[in-house]
Amino acid sequence: MAEEKVYTAEVIADQPLPTTDVSVPLTSSQASASGTYGPTVIQTQPIPRKKIALEVIGAALNSKTRKILAAFEFALMGALQIGKYENGVSGDVRISPNGITARDLTGLPTFALDGETGDATFKGTVRAGSFITGQKTGVTVGPEGVDGVDYQDIQQAINYVHGVGGGIILVKAGTYIIDSDLTFYSNICLVGEGRELTILDFQNNEHMVMMVGTTGTHLQNIVFESLTFQNLGRGDWFAFDMEYCDDCRFTNVKFYNITSAEINDVITLYMENSQRNIVENCYFDTCDQGIYVWGGSFHKFEFNYFTNIPSSLLNVGTTPSVIFRHNVAYDVGTEGNDTIIYFGSGGDNLIIDSNLFELCRTQCIWSEVGSQITITNNIFTKTGTTYECIFLSDCTRSILANNRIIGFTNSGIYFSGGCNYCTITGNVITGCGKYGVNIDHSSNNKNVVVGNALVSNLSGAVHDIGTSDVVANNSS
């Protein structure tokens, strides 16, 4: 019979936990010659220095350039705060699984999006778009059968976009015959594929572009960009009728042949009781008139080119705060016709700056009954037989500085009466048929004419019969 095996439990010695202090027994040193024993001496070890990655942490984050190199994922319960809220200094944005919230510097919520329901609240104005309406807000106009084209008729595209709260209409390259009025509404942007590529031709019919709001409800945010309007001229005196129409913009638009033998004075852009409109980088060629502004305020016209305009480029009536800057006007005006730029009664805080007026056939600027008018850094050259370059009447606290005026038949600058506290300085006026500066009435009061170069003007440098004016240091 086999011998019976006996098993006993294995005894495992206690092991210290990683966080438990462990006593390390000291061993005796070797005996010295005298038989005396001492503890082993352990050499001092330097404490390991902390190592910091100066450039790359892993392969996803470069802490030196502060750039994220790869995608990161939020933890399920993670959150993100952008900015630091400090009362009166800055706001913040917080993103979490519950949604998104934003606060302004006063601590008031400006935006909140509920992550569960999708409900959103806004402090400001929300303009309708595809993410709100769920409808297409950008459409394309072009020839039938072309891929991606939604409409062949521009007015139909306008009506659709208006119905969904606004949007962008792209008009493909080509010439489109317009045989009815084009009526625009708020928040519509009409964009072509290029100023010389997308052409809207009205064929001198009876129609025009309508942008007309009411006193209680102004139209807003209408944009025209990169296209041509041509052969408008038999509408109700206007090619574009803009009434009660704010914050609109024309960029890189060409206006060609805006004229009519019947009316003979068609206004290209007519703005009445409107505000903050901009015309920039546009081309006006062969137009009876350029821009006419009546009422409203705060318009800006910059970097435009005007040529073959027999009447006014800019006519401003009772409209303060208009800027006309960095424009070129070549071969404009008609002998004995309207002035090229006219400021009527109530035109205050007007700026004419850094423009080139070349081959002007009539008076360049006429301003009456206004204040704080600034005419600076312009160049004026004349071809014709009558009128002065700049004519001011009943204007106060205005500045005419650093302009160059060449060859006008009458005086370079003329104050007819009622001009007070104006400054004329730094101008170069040469070759005029009368005076460089002519202050021609005793009702002109306390004006300053200092530091101008008034050379080779037929009747002399300065003629001043105003009251208490200062005339000094002008070269002739």
Judge whether 443 and 418 are in contact, CB under 8 Å.
yes
How far is 207 from 178, CA to CA, in rounded Å? 8
Average pLDDT over residues 274-302: 96
What is the b/e burial string over 432-449, where b = at least 16 CB atoms within 10 angstroms of the residue's CB?
bbbbbbbbbbebbbebeb
How far is 239 from 28, CA to CA, in rounded Å? 110
Domain boundaries, the chain: 89-126, 127-293, 310-476
Average pLDDT over residues 140-155: 93
Provide long-range contacts, Cβ within 8 A and 24+ apart, for 381-385.
Answer: 381/357, 381/406, 381/407, 382/406, 382/407, 382/408, 382/409, 383/359, 383/407, 384/333, 384/335, 384/360, 384/409, 385/335, 385/409
The one-letter amino acid code at 103 reads: R
What does the DSSP 8-state code read for residue 275? Answer: B
**Range with the poorest average pLDDT among 45-49, 147-151, 223-227, 277-281:** 45-49
Task: Name which CATH class applies to 127-293.
Answer: mainly beta
pLDDT of residue 131: 35
**Range with the poorest average pLDDT among 135-149, 189-203, 310-324:** 135-149
How far is 437 from 444, CA to CA, in rounded Å? 13
For the chain, percent helix, then strand, then coil, each to nearest 5? 5, 45, 55
Q: Write the CB contacts of 409 (distance below 8 Å, at least 6 apart in sequence).
A: 382, 384, 385, 386, 387, 432, 433
The larger pLDDT score, comparing residue 439 to residue 36, is at 439
Average pLDDT over residues 429-439: 97
The larger pLDDT score, comparing residue 236 to residue 244, is at 244
Query: What pLDDT, in 10s, does the model give residues 350-375?
Result: 999 999 999 888 899 999 889 999 99
**Range with the poorest average pLDDT among 35-44, 77-86, 207-216, 410-419:** 35-44
Is the per-residue pLDDT at 130 higher than 60?
no
Average pLDDT over residues 146-168: 95
- Most confident residue range from 119-123, 264-268, 298-302, 360-364: 298-302
Global pTM exceeds 0.85: no
In 3D, which of 400, 387, 296, 403 has the Cα closest to residue 340? 387
The one-letter amino acid code at 404 reads: R
The one-letter amino acid code at 470 reads: V
Query: What pLDDT, in 10s, does the model give residues 26-67?
Result: 444 454 455 565 666 666 666 666 555 555 556 666 766 667
Is the per-residue pLDDT at 229 higher than 90?
yes
How far is 323 from 330, CA to CA, in rounded Å? 19
Structure tokens that stand for 136 in this block: 């297409």
Is the per-residue pLDDT at 244 higher than 90?
yes
Average pLDDT over residues 114-137: 58
Is the per-residue pLDDT at 145 higher than 70?
yes
- Give the bridge partners for 356, in sequence order: 328, 379
Is the per-residue pLDDT at 127 higher than 50?
no
Task: Name which CATH class applies to 310-476.
Answer: mainly beta
Confidence of residue 298 (pLDDT cuts 50, 70, 90): very high
Write down the mean pLDDT value for the chain.
85
127-293 and 310-476 share one CATH topology? Answer: yes
Is the per-residue pLDDT at 441 higher than 80?
yes
Sheet holding 109-114, edge to edge: 80-82, 92-96, 99-103, 109-114, 120-122
Measured over the CA atoms of residue 87, residue 88, residue 93 and residue 97, the dihedral's sign is positive
pLDDT of residue 132: 41
pLDDT of residue 116: 74
pLDDT of residue 29: 47
Is the per-residue pLDDT at 380 higher than 60?
yes
